[in-house]
Each structure stands twice: as C-alpha cells, then as structure tokens.
Structure 1
Amino acid sequence: MINKVFDQEYLRDPHGVYAHLRREQPVAHTITSQGVRVWLVTRYEDVRAALNDPRLSKDFHRNPHVMKDNEMEGGDSSGAAAVVPDNMLFSDPPDHERLRRLVVKAFTAGRVRAMRPRIEELSTGLLDGLGGEFDLIKEYAVQLPAMVVGELLGIPEPDWPKVIRWSNTTIEGSALDPGEVVAAAQATIAYLGELCAAKRDNPGDDLISAMVQAHDDSSRMTASELVSTSWLLLVAGHETTVHLIANGMLALLSRPDQFAALRADPALVPQAVEEFLRFDGPISTSTYRFTTEPVTIGGTDIPAGALVLVSLLSANRDAGQYERADELDVTRDPGQHLAFGHGIHYCLGAPLARVEGEIAFRHLLERFPDLELASADLTWRPGMLMHGLERLPVRTGSPSTRT
C-alpha cells in the first residue's frame, strides 16, 4: 500500500505524481488524507473501463457502511460521507436512468442555447473596468459561473454568495475539517429545500421549476430527489467551470506561442476548450465508487467492498492515449478526453460548461491581448476531487476596445 498519494508533493506537482503512478503502479492501493483506504486508477484505458463498469457502484444505500469499513484507525470519512444521496450521481440503474430522464426533460439543449446571450452579457459586465493587476479567479472565474448557475436554478441574486460558499465547502470536503463540510452540506440542503418548496407553489422560468414539473410515464421526482438533484447541479455547475477557466488561462499564459495562436485564430476557441479540459482539467478524481464483487482492473485484483477512485486528470495525460500528452496544443483534436467522465454518469452539464468556457476565453483574449502572469508563485488548492488554483494574479494594460 502507498501511503497517502494526496500529500504535499501532490499539491506541488499533481501531474508528476500521476505520471509516476501510471508507470509504476497504475492501480494503486493508497490512503486519502482523511485516512480512508482506496484503490486509485490512473491509466486512460483502465479509467475509461472503470467508469463504465456496473460492478463499481455509486449507490451507497446498497452498502451504507462501506466508507467506515475502509477507514484506517484514526481516520474520519464523515466529510466524504456528507455528499447528498438521492440524485443521479449517487445512484445505479434503474433509478439512475429514471432520474436522468427527468433532469434531461428540464435541462434541455434549448435551455442552454437560450442562456448564451445572457452569459455573454454577464461576462462583458465582469470584464468592464478590469485592468492593471488583478486576481483572475476572484474577479472573473469565480463570478461568472456563480452568476450563471444562480440564474439557471432560479436562486435569488442576494443569496448567491452564501449558497456558492456552502457548495464549494461541500465539494472540497477531502481538504477540510469534516464537521465544517457536514455543516455546509446541511445548510445547502436546508436552503434548497425551502427554495424547491417555493418553486412548487410559484414556478418561474428556471431549471428547478422545470424539474418540479417534469414527469415521465407518471413518474416525478420526490421532494428529496428534487432537493438532492438541485444540490448536485449547484455544486457541479460552479466549481468545475471556475477551474476550467482558470486552469486554461494559466496554461495559455505559460505558453505565449499558444496564446498568440489562439488570438490569431479565434475560430479555434471551441477546440481549444477541449484541449484545456484534456491538458489540465478541473477534476482530479471522480467521486467514490465501491466494488459490489471482486473485480480486476488493469491486472490488479480488488476485493468486494473496496473503495475506488479513478483519476480523470491522470487519464487525460496518458502517453498511451495521446502523443505529446504533456504538451498543450490548441490546434489538437483531443478526441474522447475524460474530463467530463464517461458512461452513464457522463456530465449532463457539459454543454453549458463548454458554452461558458468558449465565451470566457474569447472575451479574455479579445479584451486583454497583452495579458500576462503577475506572479509565478502559484498554489494549487488542497483536495483530491477538484484541481484548481487558489489565486491567478495577472497583469494587463488598458482593456482592448474590441468586444
């Protein structure tokens, strides 16, 4: 067993740690920072297969003690267990298909297309007046997705800051005090419970209201499923897009030739977004799965009742899948990268994340053609789920008059 992959070395160089694991121990038995034993899968082929393996369950109702059963002495899995069940992310077939169908009926391609002009407007408003030296994450990358997910779900604007703060605390559970994570999850659920009840009585033109009304063969979401699904869309719809924007801009600003290539040909932006997702995506590992029976992954035998994490970040840098895997190339077609997952749990919000990313990168390149890093002293946020920076200090002259 490897002692704690997600340590200080990982914070300094996550890609270096994953490269070593892919070479030496592609399915590694290790311990999380909370003292929980897990099997960590790092090669592309194995990750893709694991994401599609029905023997790896995400429904913790089927084995409610599996987290505790895999704790080391002195470990504490309560923060990881603070995730909210009764949604499609933490369910298996057939419940998963039923819940996903109901969400798809509400979260349509047409709804995403209709949001594009508003996202353009929100992005423009945030960038107006920015210049000199500023933190790109604080002033832009955090703000835009918060506004978008707040409007998408129908959360009143004055409540956006506290709700986003709670959701971020919940999703960073592996790096925080478990009690803090549990409290944030409870606060989010209590708030969303009241909001969902209000939407039942007074529906609006928002996603929660649409999910309230969605039905499939006389089936509707229960009150618990509606609240839990709203929670899932909130946490998945904010933090991931923050890191897509910030990690992508860091990659560009660290490689002036790629920055120049993208500015010279803005038509490459949608393709470049896919390359940013592959090269340095927002998610390091998936959420927990557990084995319902003994399985073999990548030639490694894993017993029943074991916890499994698959690393999307590592898979997307696998030289067995990509030529020049450690190089950013905005002209590359990254094909079937795994930044949004694979299989039945493929991210339902991927189209919206892509729209936000395309708008963000296009606007930043147009507004700030001379943008550069203001400091090389950058810190990755602790935690094994999300992959993102604490800050991204940048410097520019006057904003361009181009829009």
Structure 2
Amino acid sequence: MTSTMSWIDDITMTELERNPYPVYERLRVEAPLAYIPILGSYVATTADICRTIATSPDFEAVITKAGGRTFGHPAVIGVNGAIHEDLRSMVDPALQPQEVDRWIDDLVRPIARRYLSDFEDVGRAELVAQYCEPVSVRALGDLLGLQSVSSDKLREWFHKLSVSFTNAGVDENGEFTNPDGFAEADAAKLEIQSIVNPLIDNWIENPDDSAISHWLHDGMPDGQTRDRDYIYPTLYVYLLGAMQEPGHAMASTLVGLFSRPDQFEQVVDEPGLIPRAISEGMRWTSPIWSATARISTKDTEVAGVDLPAGSVVLMSYGSANHDHSVYEAPSEYDITRPPLPHLAFGAGNHACAGIYFANHVCRIGLEELFESIPNLERDDSSDVEFWGWGFRGPTSLHTVWEV
C-alpha cells in the first residue's frame, strides 16, 4: 500500500527518530489520518482523531509489529477482552492512588536523595544518566521486587528494549528493514529471565508484597499461580515503558524549564507548581510519543478516511499534544498555558495504568533535586538532543551550579 501523497512515501525512520515534529505537523494539516509506508500502518496525528479512535467501540488494542516482536504475547498493551481484564486486574491494584499514596514517599525520596548525594557537592552533573533515569528505574525496580538488579542494569534493559520496540521500519512486503535491530533486546530478555526466574521460583513458594509476587498470586485459586510465560510479556512492557516514562518526563520537564528561566525560578521557589510543570513537560515532549496502536474491528470511516476491518492505526500522542487546534504555540514549553488535558498517558480502556505512580515519581524527584540544588543551571557548552519516535526524551542533560 502507498499513500496518496508522494512526500509521505519518502518519510524515513531516521527523520522520525531524530525529530518527528516537522513530519507530524505537516501530517496534521494535510493528512491527519494517513497510511505511512515506512511504518506499515495508518497514523493518527491530531488530538481529536487520537481520542476518537482510542475510545471508539469500533477499535480494539493491538500491539505494533515491532512491539509484538519485542514483547511477545500476551502483553497488556496489545490484548483485549478477558485476557486484558485479567492482566489489568493483575497490575492495577498496586498502582491505585490510595495504594500509591501509602508508600510512594517512603519509596522514592530515599532513592532520590541517594543519587543526589553522589553529585550535589560536585557542581556539575549529566542529569539523564546520573539522576532522572536512575531514580525512575530504581523506584519501579524496587516496587516490582527487583532490588537485586542494579540500576545500571535496569537502564541497560529498557534502552535495549526501546531500540527493539521502535525498530518499526518495514519494506513494501511488510518485512522489517533492519531485522538485526532486535538482537540486543533478544539477548536482554534472556538475561532478564535468567535473573527473574529464580525470584519467581521463590515467590511461588514464599509470596511477599512485591508487585511481581502479587502478579503471580492475586486472583488465583488457592495453590495456583499465573504461569511465568503469561506474565513475562507484560513485565517487558514495564521494564521499557514504565521505567522509561517517569525518568524521561522528568528530564524533558527540566529542559523545558531551562528554556523559560523565569518559570524555572518560579517553580524552584514554589514547589507546589511542580505538578503543573511536569504536566506541561509531558505535553511538550510526551515520553511515550507514538508507541500504542489500535485495530479496526470492522469497516469504518474516521475523519473522512475509509478504514477496512483489520486496519492498524498508530496513536501518535506526542503529535496530538502539539495540535494547534488545542494548544497555542504548542512547540513552546509554558506552564502558564491553560491546564488543558493532554494525551501523554493515552485514552480509553488502554490508558496507561501507571499515571498516578509516574506523576508522583517525577514530582518527588524534582522536589528533591530543587531542594538540594536550587541554583541549578543548564550547561550551555553542551547541546540538548532528543531522540525517539515511539519513545522520546533527551539523550543527555548537562548541568552546573555553584557549590
């Protein structure tokens, strides 16, 4: 299949990964729901179309081809019906607001303070690698029960899984253009299983309060647990998306605030503004930029486009969050804009389960950072580069301050 516009046929994975915004801005104007040959699927780029499809009874969840190759089946983000209900009943309880409120401070603040103690007296740090990502992966790793796995190893896993999941380029026959792009994630999954399988063996016999232990036991008849092969695809989802999102949201928020020094100073002086700053950061650079999909269950029409049954549509929430019909000057970071809802966490019954958890990891991380280093500045001698089309965030963030 090809598009009706030749420029769409020339879109490459490289330009999407480096900077998808110009392509998606043009799509929103000229073809807000269009078939993109390099992705092998339709792409929804406006807020209205994304929300319509995400909540429509004529569509159900499906995992992207590269996502399926990365996670396997059944991954919570790509199933429906009874299996989706069971997997959500497995993962949701630990992430409910009243449950998160019970332990989030005791979990995240010591982690944040531990990483801050490594560099707060140094006067410079690269915050993506030294703080944002480590706080994010350590918080979720400890919640899952992976205290024995180092933060560096957790970061390595989610980076390898991310490269695999976004290795989405296909040729005219629907075959991956870079089949070798899955090799590192395949090796990482084998390593994950070698480390987690003994933990599962113990949790089966000795359940505890870790999330994975609850996944095994909750809702099961006495003496039975969920099969490990059944939960691994969802665990891979967590080790990628759930570990990536808070850290990259925190880093993107910092980059946005650095672009508005007056707002940065205001947020440091008024910590109560941090949640608003994070919300704008997630809108401005959505960590899960274009990584979820839906499939039409019957012939249907959306935004004037006929979609045959079985049509896969990528939900480009990062593009929707830059929709000019919703946001004024959307490419600018601005905490003073009206607090309109954004789509960084998706919509419908497949919206992200970890909304509350992720927001509070970011909040606590930034509270601790600003309290310890209120005079934080971006190191202007180093550029900030963002990477990613499926998942997006700054690759590094060099900062300095007076000690």
TM class, shorter-length: 0.7 to 0.9
Does the 8 A contact of 1:106 with 1:214 survive in 2?
no
Tell me the amino acid that sits aligned with residue 18 of structure 1. Y
TM superposition shift of 1:83: 1.8
Output the amino acid matched with 1:233: Y
Counterpart of 2:107, as a letter, is R
- Could you say what secondary structure the match of 1:348 adopts? coil
Q: Does 1:102 align with 2:80?
A: no
What SS does structure 2 have at the residue aligned with 1:317? coil
- TM-score normalised by the chain length of structure 2: 0.85
Letter in 2 for 1:122: I
Change (3 A) 1:158 1:286: closer
Please identify, of 155-164 and 91-100, the stretch whose mean Cα deviation from structure 2 is larger.
155-164
| Letter matched to residue 101 of structure 1 | S
Pair 31,198 (structure 1): closer, same or farther in 2 beyond 3 Å? farther
Q: 1:22, CA displacement in angstroms? A: 0.8
Residue 185 (str. 1) matches residue 174 (str. 2): no
Partner residue of 2:133?
Answer: 142
User: Could you say which residue in structure 1 is the equivalent of 2:37?
Assistant: 31
Q: SS at 1:157's partner residue?
A: coil
1:38/1:306 contact within 8 Å kept: yes
Using the TM superposition, name which of 17-26 and 43-52 deviates more: 17-26
Q: What are the equivalent positions in structure 2 for 1:166-315 lying under 5 Å apart?
A: 166-173=157-164, 174-175=166-167, 177-215=181-219, 221-315=226-320
* Secondary structure of 2:36 counterpart: strand
8 Å contact kept, 2:96–2:356: no
Q: Is the 8 A contact 2:136 2:243 kept in 1?
A: yes
Shift of 1:341: 0.6
Q: Distance in 2 between matches of 1:203 and 1:216?
A: 13
Deviation string 1:329-357 (CA, Å, 9 cap, x unpaired) is 22445332110111111111111111111
Higher RCO (C-alpha 8 Å, min separation 6): 2
Distance 2:375 2:303 in 1: 46
The one-letter code sitting in structure 2 at the alignment partner of 1:58 is A
Range that drifts further, 13-22 or 159-168: 159-168
What secondary structure, in the 3-state scheme, does the structure 2 residue paired with 1:177 have? helix
Once the two structures are overlaid, the 10-residue window that deviates more, 260-269 or 210-219, is 210-219
Secondary structure of the structure 2 residue equivalent to 1:58: strand
For residues 155 and 214 of structure 1, what CA distance do their matches in structure 2 show? 19
The separation in 2 between residues aligned to 1:105 and 1:333, in whole angstroms, is: 32
Q: Is the 8 A contact 1:380 1:387 kept in 2?
A: yes
2:340 — aligned with what? 335
8 A contact 2:134–2:151 mirrored in 1:
no
Query: Cα RMSD (Å) of the superposition?
Result: 2.6
| Structure 2 Cα separation of the partners of residues 240 and 394 of structure 1 | 21
- Code of the residue aligned with 2:184 in structure 1: it is E
Opposite residue 56 of structure 1, the aligned amino acid is: F
Structure 1, gaps ≥5 residues long = 61-65, 68-76, 399-403
Report the TM-score, using the length of structure 1 for normalisation. 0.85
Unaligned runs of 5+ in 2: 168-179
Q: Report if aligned partners of 2:53, 2:294 keep a CA contact under 8 Å in 1.
A: no
